[in-house]
Amino acid sequence: MINYTTDQDIAIITWEMTSSPMNVLNDESIPQFDAALQRAFADESVKGLIISSTKPEFVAGADLKMILRSNDKPPAEMLKVTSELNRIFRTIETSGKPTVAAINGTALGGGYEICLACHHRVALNNPKTVIGLVEVTIGLLPGAGGTQRLPRMLGIQAALPLILEGKKVGVQEAKNLGMIDDIADSPVEMMDKARAWIDANEKPLKPWDEIDRKTGKIVGKDNFKVPGGNVQSPVGAQTFSAGTAMLMDKTKGNYPAPLEVMACVYEGLQVNIDRALMIEARHFVKVATSKVAKNLIQTMFLGMNEANKGASRPKDQAKTDVKKLGILGAGLMGAGIAYVSAQAGIEVVLKDVSVEAAEKGKDYSRTLLQKGVERGKVDPQKVDGTLNLIKPTANAQDLQGCDLIIEAVFENRELKAQVTKEAEPMLAPVGLNVLGSNTSTLPISGLAQASAKAENFIGIHFFSPVDKMMLVEIIMGKQTSDYALAVAIDFTRKIRKTPIVVNDSRGFYTSRCFGTYSGEGMELLKDGVNPILIENGGKDAGMPVGPLAVTDEVALDLVYKIAGQGIKDGAIGEDDISYQVAKKFVDLGRLGKKSKAGFYEYADDRSKKLWPGLQDLFPQTAQQPTLDEVKTRLLYRQAIEAVRCFEENVVRTKLDADLGSILGWGFPAYTGGAISFVDFVGVDTFVKTLDRLADQYGERFRPTEALRERAGAKTLV
Ligand code: NAI
């Protein structure tokens, strides 16, 4: 609902949507907002307007479900919505009545575009408020004037990075950057400041507007000078040419939105604002109807929200709350888990073999908190309180009363069994009573044998570095109960991570699929492909690092150890490529990045170059494949493994599979994730391409029967 009230001669329009959790621009609110504005413009007793909200946020942006609905429809429909918004926002600017945005809370995307259309912006000083044009992060661009008004206000050099990076800033930074004009310390002061501005500015005119001599109406000025220089100025020209090249290199053409932003700003700033808005609308429709935007919105925004709310949580289980957490092992992972848990207000008992080792684990939190303070991300007053939540110890008795204990000792079955037996009796008998293992490779059902309560034993697999990686892969052992799953998911949500749920299997879901990326890199080497081409293929496909570089990071002795275990368990044969290559490298003492020698050679200045000796081990063939073929092999190899995991019920839902692939091992987000990738390329194309790859390179590519049956379908699931 959009409320309309007047306070003497000022109209106050307040957003208070009841039909959605947040204030958003959608089919319902847009006409209501328009009607409220028209009422104020038409009322002669109203001399100015204040736009605000009664909810915690100002306006969070456009309703992405609305955008998704239009994604499948003809572009003309999307253009209609965009043009309508532009018309409404432009009337704010040209009505002749001063309009102030009283920004009481977060204003993102379309929400901030409302503010930009206003003549003045005053924000309430609230540490939770964020402001920005975040559209590119979901494959869109600001389509309601943002790409045109912000550069006209701040200049090209200041505005472009904000739009291209989709940066969200706090109130003070927004003021420093010029994104808002004033800050108020209380809601009353905010409204007072808004009123005072209206009183002092009778007929405001934006610098890019002028009054038409004939009609007396406000129209866009033709020769508006952009602050700091327009697009043809030396600074402007340099920004656009260097920026475009940089973006091409960064996005590899996989993400169209940033380049469209560049084009949009470049073209728009050369004409008056009215024409510029039409240009922007055209570019907006182009990205908003793209498959990439659809994928990003579906998986990275709506899907992630769903997962964060606990989509995979068993519905019949009562809500649980971990207040006291035990962690066994204060190494890299244990220390990271302690940090994120204490940050969420959980009391942590951090146990290692000695107090010194446990203290060292706690020091990790101290360092991260200090860094956070330096960067303005952590409130200095909260540092001690957070640190006090972590109790380092070498005494298992201190674990008494923990709701949940997570084991993160060395990857060794016997040791894990021993610490499980030691810690389990310490769990609060009336508390939640769950034990989790952070193992990255050992099957959970096997580890659960050491537990007296296998139904309460579960895998809680974090990724390194824990504070940065959003994903937690929760692994159900054969006996794990829904109760334990609920506890693990509730805990994951409390520490603000994204959970996915998988069933026990070798490598679980993420490591199993990730292994195929690294493995296919080695297959390509074996086939005589130039290693530069292999690495570029990975990066061009949208993976964060090439397959050989990432294998170096994992370490070849670890790959060798895991593959060796796979052979022992009968899961793979000795001809397995990862085993063969890793063995060769371990024999040569080239263990990867940690030994400064692997597929690459690492210099002291942190630079790296491919090891020339690769040529002797894997002679290159005269006939090299195209970059596209390398990309196809790398992406399809991961996607078919994800499909197999899905069919085998290793991963339980499409959403978990997609999110796990993007957040867990860096599968490119523009595809929507490793399962959505199949729809992205088309099921039929996927199957045909796999058959061709299988014929050419090996059976590992061969589509499954179930997949073949779906070949004619529009979507895989
Ligand atoms: P780490 O070697 O850094 O730390 C292990 C810690 O366990 C050491 O501080 C050690 O002193 C301690 N420890 C050994 N015996 C103990 C005992 N009886 N009681 C208490 N503490 C004991 O190892 P990291 O990297 O933290 O790995 C821990 C676990 O997490 C392993 O199972 C590993 O597979 C898994 N993991 C590791 C990831 C990584 O990237 N390093 C990612 C995901 C999982």
Secondary structure, 3-state, 526-579: HCCCCHHHHHHHHHHHCCCCCHHHHHHHHCHHHHHHHHHHHHHCCCCCCCCHHH
Of the pLDDT bands very low, low, confident and very high (cuts 50, 70, 90), residue 70 is confident
Residue 211: the pLDDT is 95
Residue 430 has pLDDT above 80, yes or no: no
Of the pLDDT bands very low, low, confident and very high (cuts 50, 70, 90), residue 81 is confident
**Residue 399 CB less than 6 A away from ligand 1:** no
Mutation choice for ligand 1 from 328, 340, 409, 441, CB with most ligand atoms inside 8 A: 409
Say if CB 138 and CB 119 are below 8 A apart.
no
Residue 428 has pLDDT above 80, yes or no: no
Residue 531 has pLDDT above 90, yes or no: yes
Q: Whose CA is nearest to atom 39 of ligand 1?
A: 464
Q: What percent of the chain has pLDDT over 90?
A: 95
Residue 19: the pLDDT is 93
**Alpha carbons within 13 A on the beta-carbon side of 392:** 21
Backbone angles phi, psi at 7, to 5 degrees: -125, 100
d(CA 193, CA 209): 25
Alpha-carbon distances of 461 from 345, 426, 453, 507, rounded to whole Å: 21, 22, 19, 11
Q: Whose CA is nearest to atom 31 of ligand 1?
A: 411
CA of 358 to the centre of ligand 1 (A): 12
**Which of 67-76, 124-133, 456-465, 656-665 is the least confident region?**
67-76
What lies within 8 Å, CB to CB, of 376 at 6+ separation is none
Say if CB 118 and CB 92 are below 8 A apart.
yes
Q: Is 450 exposed, middle or buried (0-12, 13-18, 19+ CB in 10 A)?
A: buried
Residue 78: the pLDDT is 85
Say if CB 262 and CB 237 are below 8 A apart.
no
d(CA 98, CA 118): 8
Of the pLDDT bands very low, low, confident and very high (cuts 50, 70, 90), residue 520 is very high
Residue 137: the pLDDT is 95
Place of tokens 């069994």: 417
Place of tokens 């692997």: 598
Helix axes 64-71, 273-288, angle to 10 degrees: 70
Backbone angles phi, psi at 267, to 5 degrees: -70, -45
Residue 396: the pLDDT is 96
Residue 57 has pLDDT above 90, yes or no: yes
What lies within 8 Å, CB to CB, of 604 at 6+ separation is none
Residue 75: the pLDDT is 86
Q: Whose CA is nearest to atom 10 of ligand 1?
A: 329
Say if CB 499 and CB 487 are below 8 A apart.
no
Q: Which residues sit opposite 218 in a β-bridge? A: 211
Residue 72: the pLDDT is 79
CA of 489 to the centre of ligand 1 (A): 22
Alpha-carbon distances of 321 from 345, 422, 493, rounded to whole Å: 12, 24, 10
Residue 484: the pLDDT is 97
**Residue 414 CB less than 6 A away from ligand 1:** no
**Alpha carbons within 13 A on the beta-carbon side of 330:** 25
Residue 247 burial (CB count, 10 A): 18
Residue in 119, 120, 283, 461 annotated catalytic: 461
Structural domains in the chain? Answer: 2-289 (3.90.226.10), 324-505 (3.40.50.720), 511-709 (1.10.1040.50)
Which alpha helices (H) appear in 119-233, and where do they start and end?
A: 146-154, 156-165, 171-177, 187-200
Average pLDDT over residues 362-385: 94
Q: Which has the closest alpha carbon to 25: 55, 57, 52, 59? A: 59
Mutation choice for ligand 1 from 410, 473, 559, CB with most ligand atoms inside 8 A: 410
Average pLDDT over residues 163-184: 97
Residue 429 has pLDDT above 90, yes or no: no
Please write down the HEC assignment for all residues of 419-478.
HHHHHHHHECCCCCCEEEECCCCCCHHHHHHHCCCHHHEEEEEECCCCCCCCEEEEEECC
CA torsion through residues 655, 313, 59, 30, sign:
positive
Residue 197 has pLDDT above 80, yes or no: yes
Prediction pTM value = 0.93
d(CA 22, CA 169): 19
Residue 488 burial (CB count, 10 A): 28
Q: Which has the closest alpha carbon to 252: 520, 607, 591, 541? A: 541
Residues 439, 433, 480, CA angle at the centre, nearest 5°?
Answer: 55
Which residue type does 695 have? D
283 catalytic, yes or no?
no
Instruction: Ligand 1, residue 462: give the atom nearest the CA.
Output: 43
Residue 190: the pLDDT is 98
Starting at the edge strand found earlier in the chain, the sheet holding 471-476 runs: 390-393, 347-351, 324-328, 404-407, 434-437, 457-462, 471-476, 498-503
Residue 393: the pLDDT is 98
Average pLDDT over residues 443-447: 96
What lies within 8 Å, CB to CB, of 299 at 6+ separation is 655, 658, 659, 662, 669, 672, 673, 676
CA of 408 to the centre of ligand 1 (A): 5
ipTM of the complex: 0.99
Q: Whose CA is nearest to atom 29 of ligand 1?
A: 408
Instruction: Ligand 1, residue 419: give the atom nearest the CA.
Output: 18
Of the pLDDT bands very low, low, confident and very high (cuts 50, 70, 90), residue 275 is very high
**Residue 423 CB less than 6 A away from ligand 1:** no
**Residue 351 CB less than 6 A away from ligand 1:** yes
Instruction: Ligand 1, residue 441: give the atom nearest the CA.
Output: 34
Mutation choice for ligand 1 from 339, 352, 397, CB with most ligand atoms inside 8 A: 352
Burial string for 525-563 (b: 16+ CB within 10 Å, else e) reads bebebbbebbbbbbbbbbbeebbbbbbbebbbbbbbebb
Q: Whose CA is nearest to atom 40 of ligand 1?
A: 464
Residue 329 burial (CB count, 10 A): 25
Both tokens of 251, joined, read 């996005």
Residue 431 has pLDDT above 80, yes or no: no
Residue 591 burial (CB count, 10 A): 20
**Residue 352 CB less than 6 A away from ligand 1:** yes
d(CA 152, CA 553): 45
d(CA 140, CA 142): 7
CA of 282 to the centre of ligand 1 (A): 53
Place of tokens 């994604």: 71
CA of 132 to the centre of ligand 1 (A): 40
Of the pLDDT bands very low, low, confident and very high (cuts 50, 70, 90), residue 376 is confident
Helix axes 110-117, 146-154, angle to 10 degrees: 50
**Residue 427 CB less than 6 A away from ligand 1:** no
What lies within 8 Å, CB to CB, of 347 at 6+ separation is 323, 324, 325, 389, 391
Average pLDDT over residues 233-241: 92
**Alpha carbons within 13 A on the beta-carbon side of 53:** 26
Residue 709 burial (CB count, 10 A): 11
Average pLDDT over residues 195-215: 96
Residue 489 has pLDDT above 90, yes or no: yes
What lies within 8 Å, CB to CB, of 570 at 6+ separation is none
**Residue 437 CB less than 6 A away from ligand 1:** no
Residue 600: the pLDDT is 98
Mutation choice for ligand 1 from 395, 438, 511, CB with most ligand atoms inside 8 A: 438
d(CA 68, CA 55): 25
Residue 306: the pLDDT is 96
Of the pLDDT bands very low, low, confident and very high (cuts 50, 70, 90), residue 375 is confident
**Residue 357 CB less than 6 A away from ligand 1:** yes
What lies within 8 Å, CB to CB, of 698 at 6+ separation is 523
Of the pLDDT bands very low, low, confident and very high (cuts 50, 70, 90), residue 641 is very high
Of the pLDDT bands very low, low, confident and very high (cuts 50, 70, 90), residue 547 is very high
CA of 364 to the centre of ligand 1 (A): 14
**Residue 328 CB less than 6 A away from ligand 1:** yes
**Residue 353 CB less than 6 A away from ligand 1:** yes
CA of 33 to the centre of ligand 1 (A): 56
**Residue 464 CB less than 6 A away from ligand 1:** yes
CA of 643 to the centre of ligand 1 (A): 31
Say if CB 490 and CB 321 are below 8 A apart.
yes
Which residue type does 626 have? T
Both tokens of 494, joined, read 């409390």
d(CA 141, CA 135): 5
Average pLDDT over residues 57-83: 89
**Residue 567 CB less than 6 A away from ligand 1:** no
Averaged pLDDT score across all residues of the chain: 96
Q: What is the dihedral of CA 699, 703, 708, 714, to 10 degrees?
A: -150
CA of 464 to the centre of ligand 1 (A): 12
Say if CB 52 and CB 61 are below 8 A apart.
no
Residue 476: the pLDDT is 98
Residue 414 burial (CB count, 10 A): 8
Residue 412: the pLDDT is 93
